[in-house]
Amino acid sequence: MTVFGPEMIVLVVVVGVLIFGAKKIPQLAKTFGKAKGEFEKGKVEADKELKDFKDEIDNTSKDKEANDSKDEIDNTSKDKEAKSD
C-alpha cells in the first residue's frame, strides 16, 4: 500500500474543499506556488553564497601554502649563505 495513492489524494482534495471552500482553493494554490518559488530562489542563492565562501576559503588556504613554501625556500637560502660565511 502506498502512502499517497489515488484514494488519499481524492480525500485530501475533498477535505480541502470542505474546509476552505471551492473559491479559496485556487487562491491557496497560487499562494503556495509563490511561496515555493521564493523558497527555491532562496535555496539557489544560499547554495551560491556557500560555494563562494568555500572558494574563498580554498583560495586563502592556497595563498597561505604558497607563502609558507616561499618562506621555507627563503629560510633554506639564508641557512646556506650563513653556512658558507
- The answer, yes or no, to whether residue 28 has pLDDT greater than 80, is yes
Residue 13 lies in a domain: yes
Residue 28 lies in a domain: yes
Give the cell for residue 40: 527555491
Residue 1 lies in a domain: no
Structural domain tally of the chain? 1
Residue 30 lies in a domain: yes
pLDDT at 43 (0 to 100): 95
CA distances from 17 to 10, 21, 29, 75, 80 (A): 11, 5, 12, 78, 86
Per the structure, the complete domain to which residue 79 belongs is given by 6-84
Residue 71 lies in a domain: yes
pLDDT band at residue 78 under the 50/70/90 scheme: low
- The answer, yes or no, to whether residue 85 has pLDDT greater than 60, is no
Each residue's pLDDT tens digit, 31-67: 989 999 999 999 999 999 999 999 888 888 777 766 6
